[in-house]
């Protein structure tokens, strides 16, 4: 098995880092270069990466997200941003109209590009013997975060990534059964017991931070009102017209 496959098949998330560990600049550059080399739509590269090193900014991130202290304690925090501002610059340069905001498709392209760059950064991090954790909760304060980081119109924060030297060992987390995720040629429905079986698998895995059954956690999540701040942000910054 190749080293890359070994890394992918043994991925695990780390949330506890050695606060004294300094990530070498060379390693950071390797992670950033790997992220930038990721696959993307039409080579449009509709994303940007912000390297957050300023301690005050990272303290503010934790103040907004107290459940994620690793954003301060990790060696570095990266923010992956959907970037349609670059497309706006190109349209303005050529004095042509832009259809950004008229369809969700542009947002999906930028989101996908950023997600693939994020995944490449994760693989590169783990190849260097380090650990990381993606942070989607940055979107809870999407407007405030954009203002703090001076993001121009048509850029939108998507996900953070805390990177550092793990201080607590973690196990490889079981995933959903293949029959609930992988389909050949067309979707084939499956019975609910497949999900109930995964509840049992995760109960046996017994991760300390999980206090609910997997299905109950997501029942509650999708029952609650979705984060309206993202919708408001997209409309305000002309990423999605009313």
Mean pLDDT of 15-24: 96
Q: Look-up: residue for tokens 């993606």?
A: 134
Strands 47-52 and 76-83: antiparallel
- 83 and 111 Cβ atoms separated by less than 8 Å: no
Q: Which residues pair with 87 in a beta bridge?
A: none
**pLDDT tens for each residue of 180-214:** 999 999 999 999 999 999 999 999 998 888 999 99
Q: What is the Cα–Cα distance from 89 to 240, expressed in whole angstroms? A: 18
3-class secondary-structure state, position 164? strand
Domains of the chain by range and CATH? 3-172 (3.40.109.10)
CB atoms within 10 A of CB 42: 8
pLDDT score, position 127: 97
Predicted model pTM? 0.96
**pLDDT tens for each residue of 99-131:** 999 999 999 999 999 999 999 999 999 999 999
Q: What is the Cα–Cα distance from 199 to 38, expressed in whole angstroms? A: 34
| Predicted confidence (pLDDT) at residue 1 exceeds the cutoff of 60 | no
| Predicted confidence (pLDDT) at residue 242 exceeds the cutoff of 90 | no
CB atoms within 10 A of CB 189: 5
């Amino acid at each position: 098995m190749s080293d890359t496959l070994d890394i992918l098949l043994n991925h695990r998330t780390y949330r506890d880092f050695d606060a004294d560990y300094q990530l070498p600049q060379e390693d950071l550059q390797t992670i950033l270069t790997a992220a930038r080399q990721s696959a993307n739509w039409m080579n449009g590269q509709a994303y940007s990466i912000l390297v957050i090193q300023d301690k005050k900014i990272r303290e503010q991130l934790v103040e907004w997200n107290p459940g994620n202290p690793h954003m301060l304690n990790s060696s570095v925090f990266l923010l992956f941003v959907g970037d349609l501002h670059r497309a706006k610059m190109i349209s303005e340069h050529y004095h042509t109209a832009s259809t950004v905001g008229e369809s969700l498709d542009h947002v999906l392209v930028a989101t996908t590009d950023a997600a693939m760059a994020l995944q490449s950064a994760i693989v590169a991090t783990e190849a260097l013997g380090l650990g990381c954790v993606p942070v989607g909760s940055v979107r809870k304060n999407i407007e405030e975060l954009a203002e703090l980081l001076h993001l121009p119109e048509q850029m939108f924060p998507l996900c953070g990534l805390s990177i550092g030297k793990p201080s607590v060992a973690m196990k490889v987390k079981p995933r959903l059964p293949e029959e609930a995720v992988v389909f050949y040629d067309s979707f084939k429905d499956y019975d609910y017991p497949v999900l109930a079986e995964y509840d049992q698998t995760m109960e046996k895995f017994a991760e300390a931070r999980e206090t609910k059954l997997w299905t109950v956690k997501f029942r509650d999540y999708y029952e609650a009102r979705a984060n309206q701040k993202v919708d408001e942000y997209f409309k305000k910054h002309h990423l999605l017209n009313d």
